[in-house]
C-alpha cells in the first residue's frame, strides 16, 4: 500500500491487486512523472481500475464542449455531448455520471446526465476505431434509445448520418454492438426496444426460412420489409405473407 501527494489534493492509498483507485479530489493528478507511469502501467496490466463514478456540485462554467463543476472547492472539467450541454445552465446544482480516460499523455473526464448516455458512450468506445471524443460527437447527434434501435434493426443509413461514421464503420458498429445492446436492453427492461428486438428476430427467422426455400436473400429482405403490421404477426404468418409477395 502506498500514496502520493498531488498538487492541491491527496491521492488515496492504492492496493495494486484488482482493486479500484478512488480519488478524493482531482486537479493536476500527477505532479510526478514516475508516479504517473507506475499507475498507467498497473492500469494497462489490468491490476487497477481508475474510476470516478459521478460528481455532484455547482456548474461554474459552461462552454460548447465542456463544463467546469465545483465540487467542495475543486473544479472538475467534464467534456459532454451537445445534448447534455443544452440542458445545463451556469450556477446550476448538478449530478453528473463520469468516465475517466487515462492515456499516456492525458487524463480526461467525460460527463453524462444519465446512466443511459454513459452506457452508450462505453459501448461506442468499445468499437475498434471509435475514440472518446468521437463517441461524444455521436452522442451529440442521436439519443441512446434511437442509436440502440438503429443497431438492432441494422439501420445503416441512420448510423451513416452520425459524424465520422461511414458505411464500413456503421457495419462494424452493428457487428460489434448488436448482441451487447440486445443483452443490455433486456436487462434494463426497456419495453419499446425489447419489442423491437422480438420483431426483428421474428422477421429474421422468416427471412432465413424463405432463403432455405431457395429465394434470393436480398429479394426476401425487401419483401419482408414491405409486410405491414409485422409486430402483430407470428414468424409463420410472416413467411406466408412473404410467399404471397414473392
pLDDT confidence of residue 222: 78
Please tell me the predicted confidence (pLDDT) of residue 242.
80
Task: Compute the residue count for the chain.
Answer: 246
At 115, list the grid cell.
Answer: 446512466
Q: Cell numbers 424463405 correspond to what residue? A: 210
Range 2-115: architecture per CATH: Beta Barrel (2.40)
Domain extent listing, the chain: 2-115, 126-188, 192-245
DSSP helix/strand/coil, 190: coil
The three grid cell numbers given for residue 170, joined into one nine-digit string: 456503421
Say if CB 125 and CB 132 are below 8 A apart. yes
CATH code of domain 192-245: 1.10.8
Domain boundaries 126-188, corresponding CATH code: 1.10.150.20
* pTM exceeds 0.75: no
The confidence score (pLDDT) of residue 21 equals: 41
SS3 108: strand
Q: What are phi and psi of 50, to 5 degrees?
A: -90, 125
Residue of 144, 171, 149, 52 whose CA lies nearest to 100: 52
Q: Is 20 helix (H, G, I), strand (E, B) or coil?
A: strand
Distance CA 206, CA 228 (A): 14
Which residue stretches of the chain have pLDDT < 50?
1-32, 48
**Cα–Cα distance, 118 to 121 (Å, whole number):** 5
Q: Round to whole Å and give the CA distance between 133 and 65.
A: 10
Amino acid at each position: 500500500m502506498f500514496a502520493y501527494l498531488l498538487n492541491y489534493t491527496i491521492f488515496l492509498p492504492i492496493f495494486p491487486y484488482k482493486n479500484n483507485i478512488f480519488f478524493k479530489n482531482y486537479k493536476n493528478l500527477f505532479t510526478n512523472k514516475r508516479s504517473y507511469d507506475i499507475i498507467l502501467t498497473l492500469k494497462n496490466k489490468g491490476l487497477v481500475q481508475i474510476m470516478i463514478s459521478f460528481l455532484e456540485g455547482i456548474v461554474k462554467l459552461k462552454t460548447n464542449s465542456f463544463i467546469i463543476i465545483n465540487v467542495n472547492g475543486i473544479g472538475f472539467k467534464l467534456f459532454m455531448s451537445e445534448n447534455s450541454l443544452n440542458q445545463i445552465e451556469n450556477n446550476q446544482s448538478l449530478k453528473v455520471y463520469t468516465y475517466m480516460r487515462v492515456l499516456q499523455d492525458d487524463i480526461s473526464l467525460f460527463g453524462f446526465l444519465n446512466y443511459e448516455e454513459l452506457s452508450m458512450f462505453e459501448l461506442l468506445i468499445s468499437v475498434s476505431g471509435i475514440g472518446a471524443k468521437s463517441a461524444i460527437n455521436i452522442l451529440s447527434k442521436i439519443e441512446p434509445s434511437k442509436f440502440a434501435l438503429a443497431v438492432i434493426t441494422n439501420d445503416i443509413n441512420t448510423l451513416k448520418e452520425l459524424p465520422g461514421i461511414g458505411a464500413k464503420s456503421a457495419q462494424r458498429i452493428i457487428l460489434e454492438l448488436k448482441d451487447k445492446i440486445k443483452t443490455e436492453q433486456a436487462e434494463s427492461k426497456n419495453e419499446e426496444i425489447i419489442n423491437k428486438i422480438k420483431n426483428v428476430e421474428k422477421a429474421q427467422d422468416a427471412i432465413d426460412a424463405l432463403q432455405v426455400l431457395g429465394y434470393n436473400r436480398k429479394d426476401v429482405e425487401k419483401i419482408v420489409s414491405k409486410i405491414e403490421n409485422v409486430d402483430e404477426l407470428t414468424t409463420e404468418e410472416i413467411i406466408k405473407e412473404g410467399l404471397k409477395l414473392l
